[in-house]
């Protein structure tokens, strides 16, 4: 997730990383490339297939419990699907909560019509919406979520990141749509 980006030297940084991987593996590496989203980072915890906790990143060590607000995000299942594969006992995920540009613009128009201050950008709008004290306010906001990392899992094993994404999709979790496995 940290190799992309813009700015001077990024290409050289990626090439050096690739060289180190090739040397340490002594073979051609395989990389999973996915879209980068700019929203509010979130940790989700499912226990026995049921959403139990949603926590913001906070200061990097301790986050804010936003479980009740997270449960209002329509694209996030409260219970994992179990048709293709039984959900694990524990599944801790990293996700990004965001507001799409068109929904952000519509939200700001509504705020202005009501005489309220608009949000500065979609990222701030998503983070502010997630941290509301009243979950009804969060539910009224056009939040979306994308799950992009398995942080911990008990009861299931994944041999590759691609297999993990396939399982997350099968459980009904929203994952990045553009994911590619490459070796160069």
Active-site residue set = 36
Q: What is the DSSP string of 71-97?
A: TT-TTS-SB---SSSPPPSEEEEEEEE
Q: How many CB atoms lie within 10 A of CB 93?
A: 22
Task: Give 152's DSSP letter.
Answer: E
Task: Mark residue 84 as left, alpha or beta (left: phi above 0; alpha: psi -120 to 50; beta: remaining).
Answer: alpha
């Amino acid at each position: 997730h940290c190799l992309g980006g813009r700015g001077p030297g990024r290409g050289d940084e990626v090439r050096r990383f690739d060289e180190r991987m090739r040397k340490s593996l002594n073979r051609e590496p395989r990389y999973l490339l996915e879209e980068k989203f700019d929203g509010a980072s979130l940790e989700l915890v499912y226990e026995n297939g049921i959403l139990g906790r949603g926590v913001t990143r906070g200061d990097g060590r301790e986050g804010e419990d936003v479980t009740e607000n997270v449960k209002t995000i329509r694209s996030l299942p409260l219970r994992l699907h179990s048709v293709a594969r039984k959900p694990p006992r524990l599944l801790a995920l990293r996700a990004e909560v965001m507001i799409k540009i068109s929904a952000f613009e519509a939200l700001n128009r509504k705020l202005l019509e009501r005489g309220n201050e608009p949000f500065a950008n979609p990222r701030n709008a998503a983070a502010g919406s997630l941290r509301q004290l009243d979950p009804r306010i969060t539910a009224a906001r056009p939040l979306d979520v994308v799950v992009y990392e398995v942080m911990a899992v008990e009861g299931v094993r994944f041999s590759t990141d691609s297999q993990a994404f396939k399982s997350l999709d099968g459980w009904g979790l929203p994952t990045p749509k553009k994911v590619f496995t490459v070796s160069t």
